[in-house]
Copies of this chain bind each other. A is one copy, B any other.
């Protein structure tokens, strides 16, 4: 017999069916045994009646075991029907249960909210945690969100292009994860903190409209809303203004989020200058929702723009606030080239904020080599240092580059907003612990002497057992 999905059982009243899935609940009432069965499409109640051939198996089947059940779909007695629940009006009269894989005693309940389970236990048994209703919903919603954003972008003639994982270390950003090169012992690749330079090079390469669902990897201290790895909807467009990019992103978000049944508080998204935001909210990310909005699950998106391009570091030098590759606002280009009143130069940066989180940010890029160079000169780089850092970008821009700009939106942040989660680990399938230990698997771990020798590296014995 072909398997029937649990969501489709309603259409088979009176028929014999085969379902496959998990035992969510087993209630042994002595003469009768009741079950809740679950597959990826839904949940249904089943029962074994006294004298039923399946009684012995029913008595010995543990919760979370995987089973194949043949049964007749029947209407529930009207006093037991639950009209508000999917399959609340039907039940399965079980003919036989085949245990495809029995479940041992569980380390925690998957029928309940697993958010409170200790991090180590939860992540060591992540495959159980993922069976919980909340985790299933979060991970499936993430898939749906990205799917819809993709379709929006394809509809606007974007091309999805993958950029390398093994790339060059860029010391301006956060700390890189590095990868020793066996072919070049003593040398290292870095994992990308963002595909920033590659996506700009794709604009030089004539693709005009690029996107990628890109993994970004940063060796930052782990926090509730920040992990080593996150994913961004990475977008870059040629021949555009700041307004063009913001309009495209706003339409993508609106189409996607409303298409998934959520409500957006205000459209078009309200805009605040950085000065207005800090005055009004004391920060450049803020929550525009009233208590009633929160109850209704409203998404309060907003834009922040007109950020200062530079800020002073603790030692008095200038550094960029967001992105050294950005263009200043048009009326401040001359000021940057003249390196005059540096603290007052505004950048074309735009940040998307939602419900108190920064959901993404981007800018129009400095496509003229002299403007990009001027930003590095303001930050005190010598000509030689500039060539070392961004010489390849300056060279590329010398072969004809369209004006361009883009944005990166944090997938996890967007999903956290939609699901109301405040922890990154609730929206990633296999997150790390705060100590940097992988879920289920045993990493990081020591390498063999042979592996180390091949890579031309040694372990510094003083640091071997952590600091």
Contacts and interface: CB of A to CB of B under 8 A. Distances in A.
A133 to B, nearest CB: 10
B206 A136 contact: yes
Interface string A174-212: 011111111111111111000001100110111111000
A126 B205 contact: yes
B190 A443 contact: yes
A288 interface: no
Contacts of A443: 166-169, 187-190
Q: From A20, A100, A147, A231, name the one whose CB has the most chain B CB atoms within 10 angstroms.
A: A100
Interface stretch (A306-314, A376-384, A453-461): A453-461
A179 to B, nearest CB: 5
Contacts of A168: 438, 441-443, 445
B162 A215 contact: yes
A101 B402 contact: yes
Given A101-B401, A186-B463, A399-B103, A139 B161 contact: yes
A457 B459 contact: yes
A23 to B, nearest CB: 8
Nearest to A401: B101
Nearest to A197: B441
Contact of A139 (B142, B159, B166, B177): B159
Contacts of A432: 164, 166
A266 interface: no
Contacts of A297: none
Contact of A401 (B66, B135, B190, B446): B66
B197 A162 contact: no
A229 B165 contact: yes
A226 interface: no
Interface stretch (A46-54, A326-334, A352-360, A390-398): A390-398
A263 interface: no
A328 to B, nearest CB: 18
Contact of A22 (B128, B136, B189, B206): B206
Contacts of A436: 181, 183-184
A38 interface: yes
Contact of A39 (B100, B104, B208, B367): B208
A157 interface: yes
A237 B365 CA distance: 44
A130 interface: yes
A204 B40 CA distance: 12
B143 A160 contact: yes
Contacts of A239: 3, 20
A419 interface: no
Nearest to A105: B399
A83 interface: no
A267 interface: no
Contact of A164 (B20, B147, B438): B438
A396 B127 contact: yes
Contacts of A167: 438, 441, 443
A390 B430 CA distance: 17
A467 to B, nearest CB: 7
B126 A201 contact: yes
Contact of A458 (B166, B430, B447, B458): B458
Contacts of A102: 400
A181 B157 CA distance: 40
Contact of A178 (B23, B146, B179): B179
Contacts of A65: 400
Given A185-B466, A189-B438, A443-B166, A400 B64 contact: yes
Contact of A104 (B186, B398, B454): B398
A397 B101 contact: yes
Q: From A102, A205, A444, name the one whose CB has the most chain B CB atoms within 10 angstroms.
A: A444
A429 interface: yes
A281 B206 CA distance: 43
A429 B162 contact: yes
Contacts of A441: 167-168, 197, 392
A460 B185 contact: yes
The list of the 3 closest CB pairs from A to B, nearest first, reads A130-B205, A456-B463, A103-B400
